């Protein structure tokens, strides 16, 4: 963490880091063949749906890791997982991870805390307690939403905040780095992840143009058929909304590409860090 070469207090340079698409593939690749402790293994309120859809992270981990354990404070969520034949599950508060008896005799290759830190009351307490369960070869992957992303700027300008209702914190490069350093961790690797790709943006833009053509053709047909003024006004509004959406994407696509090249933190959805406790000197 280096302060930028300016005279402005509290200004820190944000590094250029690698971008990965999504976080699921990255996590699964890193956990392949490892003994994993999945912290916050329940997707509260969505566990059943994600199991049915086959996209629950915990079950995906079971398909690639050597062994998977899960900890979550949600007794209901743990019950659902057990009902689906999943074992090695513990109901517990990860802010006091070192006090969970079932884990004290276990050693893990990987601790996994994806999209968890921002939900905790005291993330520092969690980091301190987790540190006591590390073996010399253990590493931890942490992912958090990116507090610097511009995705929600449109909502902000209209007087809204785009945020999960259960989140307690926004993390950025600097605040996450500071939290980890204060609690005795070294960052071995930092990346960002994004759900938006250049090809996806182009695909969305093509669909928007198709929608414009469809709405315009429908409007012309109704005009020729002397449709009522009320219906025509609705169609005009539909055309206007579609055109505005297309203008948004025409502007946003090159801006996203340029900003990602300049600094991926501006447009990326989240941050990934691979950490382990600092060696005591």
Enclosing domain of residue 249: 198-258
Confidence of residue 95 (pLDDT cuts 50, 70, 90): very high
Q: Tell whether 270 is covered by a domain.
A: yes
Confidence of residue 115 (pLDDT cuts 50, 70, 90): very high
Same domain, 64 and 187: yes
Q: Tell whether 12 is covered by a domain.
A: no
Question: Could you tell me what percent of the chain has a pLDDT over 70?
Answer: 74
Check whether 195 has a pLDDT greater than 90: no
Pairwise CA distance, residues 110 & 121, whole Å:
23
Instruction: Return the higher-pLDDT residue of 141 and 244.
Output: 141
Domain count of the fold of the chain: 2
Characterise 197 by phi-psi region: left (phi > 0), alpha (psi -120 to 50), beta (else): beta
Can you name the residues that pair with 164 across neighbouring β-strands? none
Confidence of residue 1 (pLDDT cuts 50, 70, 90): very low
Same domain, 64 and 107: yes
Q: Tell whether 28 is covered by a domain.
A: yes
Mean pLDDT for 180-192 is 97
Same domain, 81 and 117: yes
Same domain, 272 and 145: yes
Q: Tell whether 24 is covered by a domain.
A: yes
Is 0.85 topped by the overall pTM?
Answer: no
Q: What is the pLDDT of residue 116?
A: 96
Same domain, 159 and 203: no
Pairwise CA distance, residues 186 & 180, whole Å:
7
Mean pLDDT for 63-67 is 97
Show Cβ contacts of residue 173 under 8 Å, excluding neighbours closer than 6 positions: 12, 14, 15, 148, 190, 265, 271
Q: Which tens digits make up the pLDDT trace of 131-142?
A: 999 999 999 999
The CATH number linked to 112 is 3.40.50.150
Mean pLDDT for 107-127 is 97
Check whether 202 has a pLDDT greater than 60: no
Same domain, 31 and 153: yes
Pairwise CA distance, residues 101 & 185, whole Å:
24
Same domain, 87 and 225: no
Q: Residue 145 belongs to what H/E stretch?
A: strand 139-145
Show Cβ contacts of residue 156 under 8 Å, excluding neighbours closer than 6 positions: 162
Mean pLDDT for 250-265 is 70
Contact 36, 64 (CB under 8 A): no
Pairwise CA distance, residues 42 & 166, whole Å:
14
Q: Tell whether 48 is covered by a domain.
A: yes
Q: What is the pLDDT of residue 69?
A: 98
Q: Tell whether 112 is covered by a domain.
A: yes
CA-based angle 24:27:32, to the nearest 5? 120
Q: Tell whether 14 is covered by a domain.
A: no
Q: What is the pLDDT of residue 153?
A: 73
Same domain, 30 and 112: yes
Pull the structure tokens for residue 259: 């900003």
Q: Which of 120-124, 218-222, 250-254 has the highest mean pLDDT?
A: 120-124
Same domain, 90 and 210: no
Q: In whole numbers, what is the pLDDT of the chain averaged over residues?
A: 84
């Amino acid at each position: 963490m280096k302060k930028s070469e300016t005279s402005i207090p509290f200004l820190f340079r944000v590094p250029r880091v690698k971008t990965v698409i999504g976080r699921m593939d990255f996590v699964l690749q890193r956990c392949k063949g490892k003994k994993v402790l999945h912290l916050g293994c329940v997707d509260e309120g969505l566990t059943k749906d994600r199991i049915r859809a086959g996209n629950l992270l915990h079950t995906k981990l079971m398909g690639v890791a050597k062994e998977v354990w899960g900890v979550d404070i949600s007794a209901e969520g743990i019950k659902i997982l057990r009902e689906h034949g999943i074992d090695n599950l513990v109901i517990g508060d990860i802010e006091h991870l070192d006090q969970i008896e079932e884990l004290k005799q276990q050693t893990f290759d990987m601790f996994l805390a994806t999209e968890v830190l921002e939900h905790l009351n005291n993330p520092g307490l969690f980091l301190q307690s987790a540190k006591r369960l590390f073996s010399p070869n253990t590493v931890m992957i942490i992912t958090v939403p990116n507090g610097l992303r511009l995705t929600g700027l449109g909502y902000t300008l209209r007087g809204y905040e785009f945020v999960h209702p259960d989140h307690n914190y926004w993390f950025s490069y600097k605040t996450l780095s500071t939290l980890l350093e204060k609690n005795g961790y070294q960052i071995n690797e930092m990346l960002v992840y994004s759900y938006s790709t250049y090809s996806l943006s182009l695909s969305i833009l093509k669909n928007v143009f198709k929608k414009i053509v469809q709405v315009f053709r429908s409007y012309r047909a109704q005009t020729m058929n002397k449709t009522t003024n009320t219906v025509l006004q609705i169609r005009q509004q539909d055309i206007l909304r579609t055109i505005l959406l297309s203008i948004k994407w025409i502007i946003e696509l090159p801006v996203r590409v340029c900003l990602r090249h300049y600094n991926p933190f501006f447009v990326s959805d989240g941050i990934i860090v691979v950490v382990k406790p600092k060696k005591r000197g």
